[in-house]
């Protein structure tokens, strides 16, 4: 008479799965990492928007500065301002040496509860000089 003994293919000794606590801790760590990346992304988007606004304001100020520099008779120009979207552009002329004028163009705007401005100055005698 023979006795057949069933031998398992593998044993579970030393092999254990993840516990629920280990899975919850892993998910928590992953969630904190994802939130950190999301916060960083929001900060980057805000920084890019501000950089774009500063660039537009600088171009607007340069444009007005060049317009005033190319004026044939800069002495006839006067201080003034205009509105371009969210930007308020102001310019001031004051006598410098001789026929020269000190020209200052300031572009100001407010976004995100903060006020920003860009100011450019040059000394010119008009006529593109």
Residues 9, 46: Cα–Cα separation, whole Å: 60
CA atoms within 13 A on the CB side of 21: 0
Residues 106, 117: Cα–Cα separation, whole Å: 7
Q: Where are the alpha helices (DSSP H) in the chain?
A: 20-69
Residues 53, 114: Cα–Cα separation, whole Å: 13
Q: How do residues 31-83 score in pLDDT, each as one tens digit? A: 999 999 999 999 999 999 999 999 999 999 999 999 988 887 777 788 999 99
- The pLDDT value recorded for residue 104 is 95
Alpha-carbon Rg for the chain, nearest whole angstrom, is 34
For the question of whether the overall pTM of this predicted structure is more than 0.75, the answer is: no
- The pLDDT value recorded for residue 75 is 75
Other CB atoms within a 10 A radius of the CB of residue 82 amount to 11
């Amino acid at each position: 008479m023979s006795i057949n003994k069933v031998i398992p293919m593998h044993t579970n000794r030393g092999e254990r799965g993840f516990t629920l606590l280990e899975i919850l801790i892993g998910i928590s760590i992953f969630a904190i990492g994802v939130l950190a990346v999301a916060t960083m992304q929001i900060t980057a988007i805000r920084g890019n928007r501000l950089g774009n606004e500063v660039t537009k304001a600088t171009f607007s100020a340069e444009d007005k500065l060049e317009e005033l520099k190319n004026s044939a008779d800069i002495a006839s120009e006067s201080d003034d301002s205009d509105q371009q979207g969210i930007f308020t552009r102001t310019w001031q002329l004051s006598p410098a040496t001789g026929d020269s004028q000190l020209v200052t163009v300031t572009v100001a705007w407010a976004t995100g509860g903060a006020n920003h401005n860009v100011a450019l100055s040059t000394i010119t005698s008009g006529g593109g000089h």
